[in-house]
Amino acid sequence: MPVTVSIPTILRPLTHNQKRVEITGFSVLEVIEQMERQYPGVKEKLIAEGKAHRFINLYVNDDDIRFSDGLSTSLRDGDSLTILPAVAGG
Amino acid sequence: MITGSLRGAAPEFAAIASSLLYQSSALGMDIEEGENHTGDGALSFEFKTPHTAPVACDVAGWGEPSRQAAVTENIMQAACGLMAVHGRATGKSQSLGVNYLSTLTAALALQGGAAASIGQLRGLPLSNSRTSMASAGLLSVGQYIAGATASESPETLLPGRTPYLARLPFVSLDGVVFELETLDAGPWRKFWSEIGVSPAAAGRGWTAFLLRYAKAIAPLPDELPRAISKFSYYRISQVCARTGMAVCPVRAIHDRARDVDSKQLWLRGPWEFLFEADPGGRPSSPAANGLPLSGLTVIESCRRIQGPLAGHLLALLGAEVIRIEPPGGDPLRGMPPIAEGCSARFDALNRLKTIREIDLKSSAGRAEIREMVRYADVFLHNWAPGKAVLLNLSHEDLSAINPSLVYAYAGGWATDSAEHSSRSPMPGTDFMAQAYSGVARKIADASGTQGGSLFTVLDVLGGVVSAQGITLALLNRCMNHAGAKVTSSLMSAATLLCAEDFQNHYQLPGTRSHQKSLIDTVYATKQGKIAVECRDAGTAMRLADALETVIGIGEEGVQACMNDLFLSRTADEWAEILEQAGVPSAVVIEDLADLQTSAPMQPGLSPGSYTKVNSPWSFR
């Protein structure tokens, strides 16, 4: 089940400067676990204690995973997973 | 004491003078009417204390001393790109409708006088401080300029191009206009689920909602405002209480003026100072270089905009700012667009600081901060109310370690006490403070919208107010060797911004700058737009002469005729013609990247991996 993962600039040092990587997994969590095996250090930048960091947004195609099944959100062949640092102010 | 002919300021600078008078009288300064000294500024005053020689403070319209073209509040909002940032969500380039840049300029001018006086007390031969409305304008949109000029995927966000009609704020079934706020996706998801919106639409809405702070747009799916408009405000409040969402109606200034703390806040001014009674502090150290705060150390533990901007301004005055970030660094460093590996928007506020990663949750981390504070001059934070006490890093804790310390809090609401947070669950963010304070309604009335601006009006002004309060406390310390606590907030910035409205409401004496312009319009031209403002009949006549036609003011037909006339030439051509005629005008900057080539604004900018805004002050 390969999906395309878009990597934000801030994480590219971990992915050898690749903007997009192909990763296999049936859920967002599986993809992140697989990425961690290929690119050590990625996982702690994205999740802690089983949840995505508040300041990281993960989108499957265009949908924020927090509004579907979170890290368990299932993935289909050809889906894209986009990682975007959150924006905030105040 | 300040001396100058502030009460007789020219109409286009009356709002700056009025705000200067309000700020200096709130500080308890004596104001002496005097001649304008012979500076190059459009408005000048002298800042003096019993311990320092007079500092001549010049306030110019434009950044370049040689540029004498007429300028007003709204013309500068057009020229610096502020109209365009506000217009990203309102649909067109338009002014905020408040004396925003005048207020900012006044605060920067007063701070410049105080900073130069500190420089004198630390051995620098400073007798003049200069700032300008143009530099205040660029400072206000510095982060947005960074986003528009970043080397990697710069943003091009033009007014009126947001592809959704749905705009904030929301309106209930019974017609109440209100803002929602949460910093977490959880309450947002639960709230919209109870309102009956699908998770997919709520998710798209969350993405759009998050864009407000960084990009001044919020392209919400139509389903959200449509669904919420079927509920009464009372029911919406109940859903908010159940789901952890904060809600605040968009109130008018007169609603805010009736709050018990409002008049006191107006009388006190935008800062609350608590000076140490016992002057047991260190004497002033000499300046390390030509800047007045050089050699002073500021420790900053702030996130987002207001606090970091305050630290940035102190760094521009020469202070060494050590910024405390959580282990791994502030996540906002990764916020696109990126320039040289760091968020351009983040870098715009933090580029001059030294970073120290410290875990505030660990006792070792807190001990490290206490050790740093022992040798620091300023400690600045913007934690949630009550957190400083929990961390044992409150004013009492740190002044015991260092009695000379200036302890500063730049908050959302007017206090950092935990009592406030238990009474009001509203997060102290820009858009909530705009709604609560009356600023949003005032902007809405002027802009023909229902709510405030998605430009971070109060974060920016609050950052300037905080830096100004810290500088004033440092001046007091130089003179009296005593530390202080300085509290300022988005709410106090809102009161400052609308000081004249509150003054009118309370029927208090003071100067008033209000004078409605005869013409204050953005015209489309053959290429680009031009903003034109005529504050008096003489200027309107000069405009009429320049247009080679005779016009009466205020007739609809004439307006239409003027619309056609302006289409005959480009905005650049009109700017030249009107400058010759002495009519305040400016090409409206719609794409902030164009500032890099704008002759009047370029002197305030530095090119690089993104375009940086220079210091708003120069000293000699």
Handedness of CA B264, B268, B270, B273 (dihedral sign): negative
**Separation in Å, CA of A57 to nearest CA in chain B:** 9
Residue of A nearest to B208 (CA): A87
Residue of B nearest to A7 (CA): B334
**In whole angstroms, what is the distance from residue B113 CA to residue B123 CA?**
16
- pLDDT in the model for residue B550: 45
Across B96-105, average pLDDT: 97
Out of 3.40.1160.10, 3.40.50.10540, 3.40.50.2300, 3.40.50.720, which CATH number does the structure's domain B260-423+455-505 have?
3.40.50.10540
Amino acid occupying residue B456: T
Cβ neighbours, 10 Å, residue B560: 10
At CA B262, angle to CA B257 and CA B264, rounded to 5?
135
Q: At what angle do helices B14-26 and B490-497 cross, to 10 degrees?
A: 130
Q: What CATH number does the domain containing A77 carry?
A: 3.10.20.30
Answer whether residue B501 shows pLDDT above 70: yes
Please, is A54 exposed, middle or buried when counting C-beta atoms within 10 Å of its C-beta (0-12, 13-18, 19+)? middle
State whether residue B336 sits within 8 Å of chain A by CB: yes
- pLDDT in the model for residue B135: 98
Asked whether the beta carbons of residue B336 and residue A84 sit closer than 8 angstroms, the reply is yes
The C-alpha R_g of chain B, in whole angstroms, comes to 24
Across A12-28, average pLDDT: 93
Residues of A in contact with B331 (CB under 8 A): 53, 55-56, 85-86
Q: Is residue A71 part of a domain?
A: yes
Mutate to test the interface with A, among B188, B189, B207 (most CBs of A within 10 A): B207
Expressed as residue numbers, the domain containing A26 is 2-85
Residues of A in contact with B430 (CB under 8 A): 89-90
Evaluate whether B611 touches B339 at the Cβ level (below 8 Å): no
- pLDDT in the model for residue A90: 40
Answer whether residue B327 shows pLDDT above 80: yes
Across B50-75, average pLDDT: 91
H/E run at residue B138? helix B133-140
**Which region among A23-32, B318-327, B454-463, B506-515 has the lowest average model confidence (pLDDT)?**
B506-515
Q: What pLDDT digit, counting tens, does each position of B170-184 carry?
A: 999 999 999 999 988
**In whole angstroms, what is the distance from residue B510 CA to residue B500 CA?**
9
DSSP assignment letter at B103: H
Q: What pLDDT digit, counting tens, does each position of B210-235 carry?
A: 888 889 999 899 999 999 999 999 99
Alpha helices in B244-380 (DSSP H): 253-257, 262-268, 306-316, 344-350, 363-374
Answer whether residue A89 shows pLDDT above 50: no
Q: What percent of chain B has pLDDT over 70?
A: 92
DSSP assignment letter at B344: H
pLDDT top residue among B419 and B456: B456
Q: Is residue A10 part of a domain?
A: yes
Q: Is residue A90 part of a domain?
A: no
pLDDT top residue among B124 and B168: B124
Answer whether residue B556 shows pLDDT above 60: no
Q: What pLDDT digit, counting tens, does each position of B310-325 carry?
A: 999 999 999 999 999 9
Half-sphere exposure of B458 (CA within 13 A, CB side): 33
Residue entry with tokens 């009949």 = B537
Q: Which pair of tokens denotes residue B212?
A: 């407000």
Q: Is B347 helix (H, G, I), strand (E, B) or coil?
A: helix
Domains contained in chain A, number: 1
Evaluate whether A56 touches B331 at the Cβ level (below 8 Å): yes
State whether residue A19 sits within 8 Å of chain B by CB: no
User: Which pTM does this prediction carry?
Assistant: 0.93
Q: What percent of chain B has pLDDT over 90?
A: 70
Evaluate whether A70 touches A51 at the Cβ level (below 8 Å): yes
Q: Is residue A72 part of a domain?
A: yes
Q: Is residue A76 part of a domain?
A: yes
Split at pLDDT 50, 70, 90, the class of B436 is: very high
Q: Which of A11, A54, A66 sits opposite B203 (nearest CB)?
A: A66
Answer whether residue B19 shows pLDDT above 90: yes
Residues of A in contact with B429 (CB under 8 A): 89-90
**Which region among B101-105, B272-276, B471-475 has the lowest average model confidence (pLDDT)?**
B272-276
Answer whether residue B540 shows pLDDT above 80: yes
Half-sphere exposure of B141 (CA within 13 A, CB side): 35
**Separation in Å, CA of B211 to nearest CA in chain A:** 7
Q: Is B298 helix (H, G, I), strand (E, B) or coil?
A: strand
Asked whether the beta carbons of residue A67 and residue B211 sit closer than 8 angstroms, the reply is no
Q: What residue segments make up the domains of chain B, in order of their start? A: 2-147+516-611, 170-249, 260-423+455-505
**Which region among B5-14, B49-58, B366-375, B525-534 has the lowest average model confidence (pLDDT)?**
B5-14
pLDDT top residue among B38 and B239: B239
Pairing of strands B31-33, B2-4: parallel
ipTM of this complex: 0.77
Residues of A in contact with B224 (CB under 8 A): none
**Separation in Å, CA of B582 to nearest CA in chain A:** 40
Across B269-296, average pLDDT: 85
Q: What pLDDT digit, counting tens, does each position of B115-160 carry?
A: 999 999 999 999 999 999 999 999 999 999 999 999 988 988 888 7
Residue entry with tokens 């609308």 = B498
**Which region among A48-52, B36-40, B587-591, B615-619 has the lowest average model confidence (pLDDT)?**
B36-40
* Distance, first Cα to last Cα, chain A: 41
Q: Is residue A28 part of a domain?
A: yes
Split at pLDDT 50, 70, 90, the class of B30 is: confident
Across B362-379, average pLDDT: 97
- pLDDT in the model for residue B99: 95
- pLDDT in the model for residue B32: 82
